[in-house]
C-alpha cells in the first residue's frame, strides 16, 4: 500500500487486527449487500465475543449466522433477527445478548457515529420498551428520546465497484446500511466486485468517498437470495 | 360478512390519492398495491432504500441486489430512486411519506399500537415499524377486529408492549372502518352485511356510534 491506495492482497490482511471483544459494524439488509467473504474470514479467524451491529443476523449457513455455532458473537444490535434456529436457541438460553433497535434509529446511530455526533433525539420508540432508561425531551410539544451513536472497532462493508483510492459505488438496494457502516468504523474494510483505477469512476457518482475506507479487496460473491419471488412474463 | 384480506386491501386503496408516496407493511398492506385505482399514480416506498417499487421480476429480470423490505426480489418502476437506509428513514421520520399502512396485534382508544412483540414468544424485532408509526401523520392500521377466540383487538389500553404511543388515527378491520380521536373509537363504516351490534360487541374500548353507519362501498 502506498499513498491513497487502499487495496490489500488477501482476506487475512483485510481483517488483520480484529481481536476478541471488539465491536464490528456490518452493512447489509437481510442477505442483500452483505460483506459475505469478510464474514467468512471472521469465522476462519475464530475471533470470539464480538459485539456485532447489523440490521439482521443472516441465516443458519450464510451471512452473520455462520458466526453463531462457535459462539463468536456475544452481543448483537439489530432491528430484526431470528431467521435461523441457532440464533433462536442462543437468544432463548441467554447465551447471546440481543439489543433490538428500530431500523431507522440503527441507521442514524451509525450515521451519527461516523459524523462525530454523540447522540440525537428521535420520536421513534418514545413510550415503548426501546425508551427504557433513555433521556426524554420535549420539542415543540412532542416527546423524543435520546439515542446514542455507535462506532465500531471495525466496519465491514460490501460495495459494487471501487477505485484503488476506496471511492465506492453501490448497486441497487444492496446499498442499504453499507454507506453508514463505512463511516462508523475505526478501521473500515470494504469488499467489492470490481476494483478500477482512480479516474475511472465519475467523481459526481461516488456514493462513499475514499476518506472513510481503510482497506479494500476484490472478491467473488454468492449473493444468496432470501425470498425468491418471480412473476411469469405474461402475468403482468 | 367479514371482509376478506383482499377486500380489506381494496377498501384501503380507496384512501389513496394521485401523487401519493406510500409505505406498505408486510401481509395485508402489501395487497393494497394490487388495487391502485385506474389512472392514479402512486409510488411505493420500501424502507430498505427504494422509492418506486415495482412488481416481482420475471426469471430474466431476477437480481439479488434488488429486494424490498420483506426481502422479496422486486423491480423498480420508471422514475424510481434508490438510496441508503439513513436517507430512507429520513424520509419516513421526517414525515415525507403521505400514507403508511401496517398491521397490528392491538390498537387502543388513545391511538397506541402494539405490533411487534408477544412476551414469552420468540421476539424477532420491530424492523422499521417504530420509525414508521412515529414519523407518519397518515397511518392506516389493518387487522382482524378480534382474535379467533373472539377477544377484541380494539382496546381501552394495549396490553402488549407498544410499537408507538398516540400515533394511530385510522383502523380498518375485517368488520369496520374506525377513526380514533379524543380518547375514543369512532365508527365510520361497517363491512357489508355486518351489523353495528356485532361491531360494538367485539370492540372493548369505548366507541362512539353515530345514528347512521354506512356500509363500505366496493
pLDDT given at position A234? 59
Three-state DSSP string of B23-47: EECCCHHHHHHHHCCCCCCEEEEEC
Task: Calculate mean pLDDT across residues B172-177.
Answer: 98
Entry pTM: 0.96
CA of A81 vs chain B CAs: smallest distance (Å): 5
Q: In what order do the strands lie in the sheet with B170-173?
A: B76-82, B50-53, B42-46, B20-24, B99-103, B139-143, B170-173, B176-181, B184-190, B207-208
DSSP A43-112: HHHT--SEEEE-S---BTTBGGGGGTTTT-EEEEEESS---SHHHHHHHHHTSSEEEE--HHHHHHHHHH
Interface of B with A in 83-122 (CB under 8 A): 83-86, 88-89, 92-93, 112, 117, 122
DSSP chain B: -PPPHHHHHHHHHTT--TTEEEEE-SSHHHHGGGGPPTT--EEEEETTTEEEE--PPPTTT--TT-B-TTSBB--EEEEEEE--HHHHHHHHHTT--SEEEEE-SEEETTS-EE-S--TTS-----TTHHHHHHH-SSEEEEE-SB-TT--BSEESS--SPPSBSS---EEEESSEEEEEETTEEEEEEE-TT--HHHHHHT--S-EE--S--PBP--
Do residue A176 and residue B73 have CB atoms under 8 angstroms apart? no
**B6-41 confidence digits (pLDDT tens):** 999 999 999 999 999 999 998 899 999 999 999 999
Cα(A176)–Cα(B89) distance, integer angstroms: 11
Cα(B80)–Cα(B138) distance, integer angstroms: 22
Number of domains in chain B: 1
Provide the grid cell at A167.
Answer: 471511492
Cα(B31)–Cα(B140) distance, integer angstroms: 14
Residue B148: inside a domain, yes or no? yes
Angle of helix B85-93 relative to helix A103-114, nearest 10 degrees?
120
Q: Are A227 and B73 in contact (CB under 8 A)?
A: yes
Residue B104: inside a domain, yes or no? yes
Domain that holds residue B22: 5-32+97-208
pLDDT given at position A92? 86
Nearest to B49 among A175, A229, A230 (CB): A175
The pair phi, psi for residue A88, each rounded to 5°, is -60, -45
Nearest to B122 among A82, A125, A174 (CB): A82
Residue B53: inside a domain, yes or no? no
**A50-69 confidence digits (pLDDT tens):** 999 999 999 999 999 999 99
Domain spans of chain A? Answer: 11-117+142-218
Q: Which residues partner with A162 through β-bridges?
A: A168, A195
Residue B185: inside a domain, yes or no? yes
Residue B54: inside a domain, yes or no? no
Helix/strand/coil for A149: coil
Reply yes or no on whether B211 is catalytic: no
Residue B55: inside a domain, yes or no? no
Residue B21: give its domain's CATH number. Answer: 3.40.1080.10
**B51-103 confidence digits (pLDDT tens):** 999 999 999 999 999 999 999 999 999 999 999 999 999 999 999 999 999 99
Q: How does residue A175 score in pLDDT terms, banded at 50, 70 and 90?
A: very high
- Chain B residue numbers with beta carbons less than 8 Å from the beta carbon of A160 are 65
- Chain B residue numbers with beta carbons less than 8 Å from the beta carbon of A229 are 56-57, 72-74
CA of B117 vs chain A CAs: smallest distance (Å): 10
- Chain B residue numbers with beta carbons less than 8 Å from the beta carbon of A232 are 58
Helix/strand/coil for A36: helix
Q: Are A8 and A216 in contact (CB under 8 A)?
A: yes
**B131-160 confidence digits (pLDDT tens):** 999 998 899 999 999 999 999 999 999 999
- Chain A residue numbers with beta carbons less than 8 Å from the beta carbon of B83 are 175
Check B6, B47, B179, B189 and give the catalytic one.
B47
What does CATH list as the number for A11-117+142-218? Answer: 3.40.1080.10
Do residue A226 and residue B89 have CB atoms under 8 angstroms apart? no
Residue B187: inside a domain, yes or no? yes
Whether residue B165 lies within 8 A of chain A, CB to CB, comes out as yes
Amino acid at each position: 500500500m502506498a499513498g491513497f491506495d487502499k487495496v490489500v492482497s488477501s482476506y487475512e490482511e483485510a481483517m488483520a487486527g480484529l481481536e476478541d471483544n471488539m465491536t464490528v459494524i456490518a452493512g447489509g439488509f437481510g442477505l442483500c449487500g452483505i460483506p459475505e467473504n469478510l464474514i467468512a474470514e471472521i469465522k476462519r479467524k475464530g475471533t470470539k465475543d464480538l459485539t456485532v451491529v447489523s440490521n439482521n443476523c443472516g441465516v443458519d449457513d450464510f451471512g452473520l449466522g455462520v458466526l453463531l455455532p462457535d459462539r463468536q458473537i456475544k452481543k448483537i444490535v439489530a432491528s430484526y433477527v431470528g431467521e435461523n434456529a441457532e440464533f433462536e436457541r442462543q437468544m432463548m438460553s441467554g447465551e447471546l445478548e440481543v439489543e433490538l433497535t428500530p431500523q431507522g434509529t440503527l441507521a442514524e446511530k451509525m450515521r451519527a457515529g461516523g459524523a462525530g455526533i454523540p447522540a440525537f433525539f428521535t420520536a421513534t420508540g418514545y413510550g415503548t420498551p426501546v425508551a427504557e432508561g433513555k433521556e426524554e425531551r420535549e420539542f415543540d410539544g412532542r416527546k423524543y428520546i435520546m439515542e446514542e451513536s455507535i462506532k465500531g472497532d471495525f466496519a465491514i462493508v460490501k460495495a459494487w465497484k471501487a477505485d484503488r483510492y476506496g471511492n465506492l459505488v453501490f448497486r441497487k438496494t444492496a446499498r442499504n446500511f453499507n454507506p453508514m457502516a463505512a463511516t462508523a468504523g475505526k478501521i473500515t474494510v470494504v469488499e467489492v466486485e470490481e476494483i478500477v483505477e482512480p479516474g475511472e469512476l465519475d467523481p459526481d457518482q461516488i456514493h462513499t468517498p475514499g476518506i472513510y475506507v481503510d482497506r479494500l479487496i476484490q472478491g467473488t460473491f454468492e449473493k444468496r437470495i432470501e425470498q425468491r419471488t418471480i412473476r411469469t412474463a405474461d402475468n403482468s | 360478512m367479514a371482509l376478506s384480506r383482499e377486500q380489506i386491501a381494496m377498501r384501503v386503496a380507496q384512501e389513496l390519492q394521485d401523487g401519493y408516496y406510500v409505505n406498505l407493511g408486510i401481509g395485508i398492506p402489501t395487497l393494497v398495491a394490487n388495487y391502485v385505482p385506474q389512472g392514479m399514480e402512486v409510488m411505493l416506498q420500501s424502507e430498505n432504500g427504494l422509492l418506486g417499487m415495482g412488481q416481482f421480476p420475471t426469471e430474466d429480470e431476477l437480481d439479488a441486489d434488488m429486494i424490498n423490505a420483506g426481502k422479496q426480489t422486486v423491480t423498480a418502476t420508471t422514475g424510481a430512486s434508490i438510496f441508503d437506509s439513513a436517507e430512507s428513514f429520513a424520509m419516513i421520520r421526517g414525515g415525507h411519506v403521505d400514507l403508511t399502512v401496517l398491521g397490528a396485534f392491538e390498537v387502543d382508544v388513545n391511538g397506541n399500537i402494539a405490533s411487534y412483540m408477544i412476551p414469552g414468544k420468540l421476539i424477532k424485532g420491530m424492523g422499521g415499524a417504530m420509525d414508521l408509526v412515529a414519523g407518519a401523520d397518515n397511518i392506516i392500521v389493518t387487522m382482524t377486529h378480534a382474535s379467533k377466540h373472539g377477544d377484541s383487538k380494539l382496546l381501552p389500553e394495549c396490553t402488549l408492549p407498544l410499537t408507538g404511543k398516540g400515533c394511530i388515527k385510522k383502523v380498518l378491520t375485517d368488520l369496520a372502518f374506525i377513526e380514533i380521536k379524543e380518547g375514543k373509537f369512532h365508527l365510520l363504516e361497517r363491512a357489508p352485511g355486518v351489523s353495528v351490534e356485532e361491531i360494538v360487541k367485539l370492540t372493548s374500548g369505548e366507541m362512539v356510534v353515530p345514528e347512521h353507519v354506512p356500509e363500505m362501498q366496493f
